[in-house]
Amino acid sequence: MVSERIGILGGTFDPIHSAHIAAATAVRDALKLDRVVLIPAGDPWQKRGKVIADAQARLEMARLAVEGIDGLEVSDIEVLSSEPSVTADTLEALAREGREFFLILGADAVVNMPSWRRLDETRDFATIVVVEREGESASPPGEGWRVEHIKIGRFDVSSSLIRERLGQGLSIDGLVPAPTAHYIQEHGLYTQPQ
């Protein structure tokens, strides 16, 4: 019997931004989830050499971003792991009797799913929730997936845009939650031109 419906939103979060928060809350509300857990990747093996902020900084930025938002929380499970971040490993570690997982992915991440480690096992752990902005559409590869599609408004913000703006000395007001922006400024993150 299901006693808790949990959304899982993983990512590099380099840095986390307002579109991540908007997607998490939209899915929370649309699927009536008990909570959404944001999980910063400790060792994002597919992005090795491209990640700017270290895992602890990305974890802290995520914690600051969700502070005070009902039903959103952050887990350090992947940051504390000595292994590369693999979705199936994380879902397996979080699995408990009565928990039902909803893995939240942007359409761009769904397109990348064929490159995932343990992809077939991921199918057994969670319903895939595809967050689609206007003009986007995607479905997991192969058959047998439980899938929900959630449409959200267009947010033209990305981590790379934020890093680029910071590298040029431009404001990121409104693009990231204010406590996260303060952390970025205080720690001098992303100040080098991209």
The reply to whether 133 falls in a domain is yes
pLDDT digits (tens, 9 = 90+) for 112-137: 999 999 999 999 999 999 999 888 88
Residue 50: predicted pLDDT:
85
Q: What angle do CA 109, 117, 160 make, to 5 degrees?
A: 35
Q: Does a structural domain hold residue 105?
A: yes
Here the CATH number for the domain that contains residue 148 is 3.40.50.620
Whether the per-residue pLDDT at 84 is higher than 80: the answer is yes
Q: What is the pLDDT of residue 194?
A: 66
Residues found in the chain: 194
Distance CA 52, CA 144 (A): 36
Task: Tell me, yes or no, whether 70 lies in a domain.
Answer: yes
| Whether pTM exceeds 0.85 | yes
Distance CA 33, CA 19 (A): 19
Return the pLDDT at 45. 76
Please report whether residue 10 resides in a domain: yes
Are the C-beta atoms of residues 7 and 104 closer than 8 Å to each other?
yes
Per-residue confidence (pLDDT) for residue 55, from 0 to 100:
95
Whether residue 191 lies inside any domain: the answer is no
- Judge whether 193 lies within some domain: no
H helical segments located in 45-101: 55-66, 77-80, 87-94
User: What is the mean predicted confidence (pLDDT) over 26-53?
Assistant: 92
What distance in Å separates the CA atoms of residue 66 and residue 180, rounded to the nearest whole number?
9
Residue 28 lies in a domain: yes
Q: Find the distance separating the first CA and the last CA of the chain, reported in whole Å.
A: 49
Mean pLDDT value across the chain: 94
Taking only the tens place, the pLDDT of each residue in 137-164 is 899 999 999 999 999 988 789 999 999 9
- Mean pLDDT across 28-46: 94
Domain limits for position 147: 4-186
Average pLDDT for 82-100: 95
Asked whether the predicted pLDDT for residue 37 surpasses 70, the reply is yes
Q: How many domains does the chain have?
A: 1
